[in-house]
Structure 1
Amino acid sequence: MNHAKPTVETLSDWGEFRLLNEIILPVLRAGSGGASLGDDCAFIESDRTASHLVVTTDVGPKPLVWSIGHCSYWTWGWYSVLANASDLAAAGATPVGFTTSVEAPGDMTVADFRDYFEGMDAACKEFGLKNAGGNIRVAPRFACHGTAFGSISDSRRITRNECKAGDTIVAIGKCGYFIACYLKAQRLGSIESLDSEEVAALLKPRPRIREMEILQSTGVLSAATDNSDGVLGSLWNIAERSGISVDVCLESGQMPDYVTKESLHHGLDPRHLFLFWGDWQVIASVKADRMKEFERIAERESIEWSVIGKANKGPPGLFGVEENQRREIRLLRNENFVSHSFNENPMSHTDYLLRTPLYIDS
């Protein structure tokens, strides 16, 4: 009896051009790329009334769920688009196109490679991005860098620079939900133990494109940045560029129930969960004289949001406000080239953000 193991095909078995012709082009042409994909350049129709082209480049981050056994290249493909689409959302831009440069080792399986591009294609279709192709090449380890293009239809640019003292700082989207779901899955032993909404938060998070397109068109926001490295990092982006300080509201009543519940299970400070990354919300400042209008728009358009704090005069700084005290906050965020960065060691980085004392005087 022949008990030979089935052959697992690798990228080295196929080679670049078979991968292009039998996986990448068929997947993307049938989905987010279109039939014309495959030339030296992609041709993307644009609205001639658009006055600004918006461009961003970001790495495709390895999803944190890999650390609890969900080693899905499909999810990694989704995240590669998500990281770039979230930058477009922060600018209030309408998504247009997406390109990638993908590196992979020769012994990567063809099945995993296909899964990655199918996840990427699904995210492009979901977020309204035309996949314009890109490049693949061999490398010692798998990695992807993406570039996304968007447009804005008028001169209202949303940057990090225009927040003024008196503006209200808000989060567009949930705070702390991603890390609460992650910790719950870790506690219960698998992602399968979660409900469908919790699973989606971990495997298919969404950028705030619709919400920010609406808010950008109304002019109620003065500044914005997406939360890819932690809420405090996002707040510092605005504070530093706008020359203001931020009083961050950290009262216990501010913490959502899902944050409070999961922090108790793990013996963690709920404020650390609330300030974590992973929800891909946009941290924005609402103009001081437009807050009521913002609230009306958010209610009408079913935009989820919460108050994070208040902008004050500079110099740049972050201060926690709770129990009638104002204390300087330690800037806890993801940062490359340091020992606790996500890319250096995801688990060390997560522990750093969840367990480092929040206040400088602690």
Structure 2
Amino acid sequence: MRSTEIASDEPTRLADIVAPMFSDQSGWTRQLRDGVKVELLAGADAQDDCAVFGVDGPMEIVLGSDYVRGPKFQLYELGHLSNYDIGYYLAMANLSDIAAMGALPIALLTVIRYPRSLPDVDFTALMEGIRDACSQVGAPNVGGDIGSAERIILSASAMGIVERGRSLLRTGARPGDRLCVTGPTGIAASAQRYFGGSGTDREKLPTAKEESLLSAWRRPQALVRHGRCLSTSGLVTSCQDTSDGLKAGVQSLAAASGVGFVVEESALPVADIVAEVAQLTGGDLTSVILGDSVDFQLVFTVTADGVPRLSKSFADAGLQLTEIGYATEEHAVCLRRADGRDEDLPGVPWRHAT
């Protein structure tokens, strides 16, 4: 029996307490009187970005939920993010999970709790941020729960639909598949390094570059078009977003699919602003690219012979993808340096002790 005095860290609780509660959940079914059947295709036991329900007919229903820290964002406390920004972020963080499943978002439900002392103007800005983010992807905020609390609490649940059998899961990668990402990562982490650092005498970036850093937090984007392109291609074997960082994303795909990965350092896409901030702050560039950064890119695997076709589909749609490595039979996940040395992936993943 577990002692009531033990307070485990997050990964331990997930493994020892949460996972056993939801084991073997996928496959649950419910039959309606008229013969229509609902089946839980990917439940909490699958540990995907969202749950997936199959309903008799041509579509699957995708559901996901996420909480954000609201005013406890470091950049909010430093005055770089507004109430509008954190509302926008809440919506996009949830809609990104729908995009990572290859689904089309159709609705968002929100839980907005706030102290009674919160001015109307701040509450309005928060709600407008949610509304405008939903408008960006064409999925309305259809309600939820709004009321008072001791502090601002923000949570949401997103809903999407996808063609039957086309949900992008984390479990399908096979040895030889190519590992790809939709764009550069590390931008959100670089914003925290730059604005949250204690150094006051370092060189400052031009205002336009500072704004580009903050945009990762102020106006994140759910890559719905990218996800739909991946889903409809029929070539993608696994996928998730990089909201916990690229390293964590690759590790999650490896664990779920039972494969390993070699990530080619020379192939990683590098945003100029990330390289510039790493130099200014004395950070290791590769660690920043791979580490804990909420960039909402999609990291995915595709069959080796499917890469040219998928690349063409992306190019035709005005989108980009970058091949950064490949899946292996050996379960280790490593970084291949330019000189051919293999090392553990650098960077701090999200699974830190609390």
User: Could you say which TM-score interval applies, normalised by the shorter chain?
Assistant: 0.7 to 0.9
**SS of the residue 1:223 aligns to:** strand
* Equivalent residue, structure 2, for 1:110: 120
**TM-score in terms of structure 2 length:** 0.75
Which one of the candidate residues 221, 227, 243 is aligned to 1:228? 243
Gaps of 5+ in 2: 1-54, 197-201
1:118-267 equivalence runs, <5 A: 118-184=128-194, 193-194=208-209, 197-251=212-266, 255-267=270-282
User: CA distance change for structure 1 residues 111 and 127 in 2, over 3 Å: closer, same or farther?
Assistant: same
* Equivalent residue, structure 2, for 1:325: 341
Inter-partner Cα distance in structure 2 for 1:197 and 1:328 = 31
Inter-partner Cα distance in structure 1 for 2:218 and 2:333 = 31
Report whether the alignment pairs 1:296 with 2:312: yes
Contact 2:112 2:153 in 1 (8 A): yes
* Equivalent residue, structure 1, for 2:97: 87
**SS of the residue 1:283 aligns to:** strand
* Equivalent residue, structure 2, for 1:58: 66
Which one of the candidate residues 281, 293, 296 is aligned to 2:297? 281
Greater mean alpha carbon deviation, residues 53-62 or residues 217-226: 53-62
Q: Structure 1 residue 241: deviation in Å?
A: 0.5
Contact 2:103 2:167 in 1 (8 A): no
- Paired residues, what number? 291
Greater mean alpha carbon deviation, residues 323-332 or residues 279-288: 323-332
Encode CA deviations 1:89-141: one digit per residue, 9 max, x unaligned.
Answer: 10010010110111111222221111100100000101211211011222221
Inter-partner Cα distance in structure 2 for 1:302 and 1:252 = 21
Greater mean alpha carbon deviation, residues 258-267 or residues 160-169: 258-267
Q: Structure 1 residue 229: deviation in Å?
A: 0.9
**SS of the residue 1:194 aligns to:** helix
The amino acid that maps onto 2:103 is A
Contact 2:89 2:217 in 1 (8 A): no
User: CA distance change for structure 1 residues 152 and 121 in 2, over 3 Å: closer, same or farther?
Assistant: same
Encode CA deviations 1:251-286: one digit per residue, 9 max, x unaligned.
Answer: 388544333222111111001221142221011111
Encode CA deviations 1:122-161: one digit per residue, 9 max, x unaligned.
Answer: 0010121121101122222111110000000232221000
**SS of the residue 1:86 aligns to:** helix
User: CA distance change for structure 1 residues 257 and 200 in 2, over 3 Å: closer, same or farther?
Assistant: closer
Inter-partner Cα distance in structure 1 for 2:110 and 2:119 = 20
**SS of the residue 2:249 aligns to:** helix
**SS of the residue 1:251 aligns to:** helix
Encode CA deviations 1:12-52: one digit per residue, 9 max, x unaligned.
Answer: xxxxxxxxxxxxxxxxxxxxxxxxxxxxxxxxxxx996420
Inter-partner Cα distance in structure 2 for 1:280 and 1:242 = 21
Encode CA deviations 1:152-210: one digit per residue, 9 max, x unaligned.
Answer: 02322210000011111111132223334554556777995537655533311101101
The amino acid that maps onto 2:330 is G
User: CA distance change for structure 1 residues 230 and 311 in 2, over 3 Å: closer, same or farther?
Assistant: same
Gaps of 5+ in 1: 1-46, 340-362
Greater mean alpha carbon deviation, residues 140-149 or residues 246-255: 246-255
Fraction of identical pairs, as percent: 23
**SS of the residue 2:112 aligns to:** strand
Inter-partner Cα distance in structure 2 for 1:144 and 1:80 = 7
The amino acid that maps onto 2:335 is G
**TM-score in terms of structure 1 length:** 0.74
User: CA distance change for structure 1 residues 143 and 97 in 2, over 3 Å: closer, same or farther?
Assistant: same
